[in-house]
Structure 1
Amino acid sequence: MAGEPQADCLFCKIVAGGIPATVVRRTERTLAFRDIKPQAPTHVLVVPHAHYPNAAELAAAEPQVAAELLTEAAAVAADEGIEAYRLIFNTGAGAGQTVFHAHVHVLGGRPLREGMV
Structure 2
Amino acid sequence: MRGCIFTARGSAEVQLNFIKDAFFRAGHEVHFTCDEKVSVQIDDPQATYHSLPDRGKRASWRNYGVIKRRVAEIKPDIIYQRVRQGYTALGAVIAKQNGIPFVHHISADYACKKIAWRLIRAFWAV
Q: Same fold by TM (over 0.5)?
A: no
TM-score by length of 2: 0.28
Higher relative contact order (CA 8 A, sep 6+): 1
Greater fraction helix: 2
